[in-house]
């Protein structure tokens, strides 16, 4: 069953802690993305990766970090430097980047700072 999987679905973090959100895809897609979704706003790009071992900052990268050691995996770490981390995080993948193809999204992770 092909798709893109995010875990966990819900995550609670204490202030000052780093947390890592998992994103795995078995679609053999080259490009992967992390978005943040806040109420009443569109999707804002945090980081994206066009190929293994390469990634670029999106519009709101401050306080976040990523890695792309494997084609299937693109984990996002929310660091203590992110001042307002409570949000819904969506991971996505697509066949390529420049070809502007459909993006497939994971189910999302809702992060709450307590």
Partner 1 sequence: GENVEQHPSTLSVQEGDSAVIKCTYSDSASNYFPWYKQELGKRPQLIIDIRSNVGEKKDQRIAVTLNKTAKHFSLHITETQPEDSAVYFCAASFMDSNYQLIWGAGTKLIIKP
Nearer to partner 1, 50 or 67 (CB): 50
In the bound complex, what is the minimum distance in angstroms from residue 43's beta carbon to partner 1? 4
**CB-count burial class (<10 Å; 0-12, 13-18, 19+) for 28:** exposed
Build a one-symbol-per-residue string for 38-77: x at contacts with partner 1 by CB under 8 A, - elsewhere: --xxxxxx--x-------x-x-------------------
Which CB, 37 or 65, lies closer to partner 1? 37
Order of strands across the sheet that contains 19-25: 4-7, 19-25, 76-78, 64-66
Q: Which of residues 73-102 bind partner 1 (CB under 8 A)?
A: 90, 97-98, 100, 102
Of the candidate spans 12-20, 22-30, 34-42, 62-70, the one that interacts with partner 1 by CB under 8 A turns out to be 34-42
Length of the chain: 114
Please report how close the Cβ of residue 29 comes to partner 1 at its closest, in angstroms: 14
| CA 51/CA 13 separation, integer angstroms | 30
The contact set with partner 1 (CB under 8 A) reads 40-45, 48, 56, 58, 90, 97-98, 100, 102-103, 105-108
């Amino acid at each position: 069953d092909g798709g893109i999987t995010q875990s966990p679905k819900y995550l609670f973090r204490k202030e000052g802690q780093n947390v890592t959100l998992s994103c795995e895809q078995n679609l053999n897609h080259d490009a992967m993305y992390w978005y943040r979704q806040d109420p009443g706003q569109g999707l804002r790009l945090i980081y994206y990766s066009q190929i293994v071992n390469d990634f670029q900052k999106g519009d709101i990268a401050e306080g976040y970090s990523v890695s792309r050691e494997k084609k299937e995996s693109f984990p996002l770490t929310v660091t203590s430097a992110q001042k307002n981390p409570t949000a819904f995080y969506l991971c996505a993948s697509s066949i390529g980047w420049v070809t502007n193809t459909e993006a497939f999204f994971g189910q999302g992770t809702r992060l709450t700072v307590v």
